[in-house]
């Protein structure tokens, strides 16, 4: 069984050239890190059995990157996607390193070997063997740039499956779209991702409801939208555009299975869903947020949110009951970092945040201009002066990097403050709906009692 994936690498031709000239001092951006890693394995092949499982197609593996650069220059296509990077991952203990690399070479040759320069590296350092493919985005034959369409995606999957069958390996018969790697790791570690929260609330709804009508009401009271029509039942939170099928959360969750399991823990009646706010909220933060009004005091809003999530105070046994809040606990580290940033830089309101962002942007623009001036000085400097000027340039670059981080913090804080407002509004509406339903319930009961007397 093998899974495949392919994605583009963004960057600049200059980044490639810098890496070729001095890979130890090159600091690639996040998008290009994995791409450069594949080529570093050729020079430092700890993961590939001393380079035994590194091969090149239409290039020499020692100079593949240089040849890709020459191809780009030859056809004057140095912008856009710089390369393509993919993998082919096998089931643990199902394939030998030799066969894994052999299959990877055959797959790469069939898919891209007629037009593109490719590096194939088989990694042995994980619990599962897997091949990495890196190939030039520009063809050395005609200069055409590679386009990864849905038909290409299908062709890649079918070619991989066919090769697996030829080597007697298992194949995924009903493939599903894999989650992103961060989501996959969080799911694996049991963090409150959207799907883990769905599963938990579904379990509560099934066990606490004696019939399907009460199960649907339980999920609706939690804030979910449900669609139990057809053969595939679905649910979602209002913040998401698409429904999630229950049998994708757990293949057992078919309509027949759910109905057979209803009321597993509700001998004496149906459970009621509850959405509540933290009881530990300090007085100074109780009015930090008002329903359906944009909050400008974002530091107070963040503190309010942290109390509602149960982060503050430390040691509390309070846990949020809203699925919207549960999912936010996955982003605990990011929220904590943003609170610290605002506290450190005395940011309390949106206007403070905008002022901080403007100041950092102005300073960064000046430093970028100054760095270009320093680069020009390097060209004109004597060999003895160059090292000193390069050190000055390095210090300026570090400061620019720090300012870029601060600008990202500001953007994320503003977006998250709007997101917190939306979440709190949805939770508030859910609580208000529960209250109004409880107020209507006695009236409905009284009418039922009167009907038989007529």
Per residue in 263-314, pLDDT (tens digit) is 888 778 899 999 988 999 999 999 999 999 988 999 999 999 999 999 999 8
What per-residue confidence (pLDDT) applies to 24?
54
- Residue 253 and residue 244: Cα distance in Å, rounded? 12
Q: What are phi and psi of 256, to 5 degrees?
A: -65, -40
What per-residue confidence (pLDDT) applies to 40?
67
Compute the C-alpha angle 194/313/193, nearest 5°. 10
Residues 6+ apart with CB under 8 A from 352: 346
Q: Dig out the tokens for 331 from the structure.
A: 């982003």
- Residue 216 and residue 61: Cα distance in Å, rounded? 59
Indicate the domain borders of the chain: 2-178, 182-261, 283-440
Q: Taking the CB of residue 126, how many other CB atoms lie within 10 A of it? A: 10
What per-residue confidence (pLDDT) applies to 110?
96
Q: What is the pLDDT of residues 150-165, one digit of tens each?
A: 999 999 999 999 999 9
- Ranges of residues in the chain with a pLDDT under 70 are 1, 12-51, 175-178, 441-454
Q: Taking the CB of residue 272, how many other CB atoms lie within 10 A of it? A: 12
Q: For the whole prediction, is pTM greater than 0.75?
A: no
What per-residue confidence (pLDDT) applies to 51?
66
Residues 6+ apart with CB under 8 A from 279: 318
According to DSSP, the residues that pair with 226 across neighbouring strands are: 235
- Looking up tokens 């499982």 gives 53
Compute the C-alpha angle 237/243/247, nearest 5°. 110
**Percent of the chain beyond pLDDT 70?**
87
Contact predicate 6/148, CB 8 Å: yes
- Residue 293 and residue 35: Cα distance in Å, rounded? 46
According to DSSP, the residues that pair with 55 across neighbouring strands are: 120
Instruction: State CA 293 to chain mean position distance.
Output: 30
What does each C-alpha distance from 406 to 216, 353, 359, 364 come to in angstroms?
45, 11, 11, 10
CATH number attached to the domain at 2-178:
3.30.930.30
Q: What are phi and psi of 117, to 5 degrees?
A: -85, 130
Q: Dig out the tokens for 257 from the structure.
A: 């299975």
């Amino acid at each position: 069984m093998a899974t495949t994936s392919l994605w583009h690498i963004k960057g600049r031709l200059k980044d490639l050239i810098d890496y070729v000239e001095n890979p130890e001092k090159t600091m690639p951006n996040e998008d290009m890190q994995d791409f450069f890693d594949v080529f570093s394995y050729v020079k430092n092949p700890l993961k590939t059995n001393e380079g035994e499982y590194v091969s090149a197609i239409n290039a020499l593996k020692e100079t593949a990157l240089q040849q890709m650069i020459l191809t780009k220059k030859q056809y004057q296509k140095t912008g856009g996607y710089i390369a393509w990077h993919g993998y082919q991952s096998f089931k643990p203990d199902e394939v030998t390193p030799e066969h894994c690399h052999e299959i990877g070479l055959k797959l790469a040759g069939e898919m891209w070997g007629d037009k593109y320069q490719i590096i194939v590296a088989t990694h042995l350092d994980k619990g599962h063997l897997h091949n990495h493919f890196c190939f030039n985005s520009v063809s050395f034959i005609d200069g055409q740039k590679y386009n990864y369409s849905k038909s290409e995606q299908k062709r890649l999957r079918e070619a991989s499956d066919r090769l697996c069958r030829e080597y007697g390996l298992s194949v995924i018969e009903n493939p599903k779209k894999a989650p992103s790697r961060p989501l996959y790791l969080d799911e694996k570690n049991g963090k409150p991702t959207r799907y883990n929260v769905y599963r938990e609330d579904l379990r509560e709804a099934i066990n606490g409801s004696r019939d399907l009508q009460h199960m649907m009401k339980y999920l609706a009271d939690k804030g979910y939208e449900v669609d139990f029509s057809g053969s595939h039942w679905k649910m979602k939170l209002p913040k998401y555009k698409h429904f999630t099928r229950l049998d994708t959360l757990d293949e057992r969750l078919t309509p027949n299975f759910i109905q057979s399991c209803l009321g597993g823990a509700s001998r004496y009646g149906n459970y009621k869903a509850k959405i509540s706010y933290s009881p530990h909220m300090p007085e100074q933060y109780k009015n930090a947020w008002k329903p359906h009004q944009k909050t400008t005091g974002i530091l107070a809003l963040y503190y309010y949110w942290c109390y509602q999530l149960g982060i503050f105070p430390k040691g509390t046994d309070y846990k949020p009951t809203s699925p919207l809040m549960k999912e936010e606990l996955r982003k605990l580290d990011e929220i904590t970092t943003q609170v610290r940033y605002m506290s450190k830089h005395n940011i309390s309101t949106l206007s403070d945040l905008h002022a901080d962002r403007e100041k950092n942007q102005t300073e960064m623009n000046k430093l970028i201009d100054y760095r270009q001036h320093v680069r020009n000085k390097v060209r004109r400097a004597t060999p003895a002066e160059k090292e000193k000027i390069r050190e000055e340039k390095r210090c300026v670059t570090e400061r620019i990097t720090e300012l870029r981080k601060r600008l990202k913090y500001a953007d994320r804080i503003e977006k998250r403050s709007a997101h917190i407002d939306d979440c709190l509004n949805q939770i508030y509406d859910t609580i208000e709906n529960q209250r109004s339903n409880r107020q209507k319930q006695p009236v409905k009961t009284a009418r039922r009692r009167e009907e038989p007397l007529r």
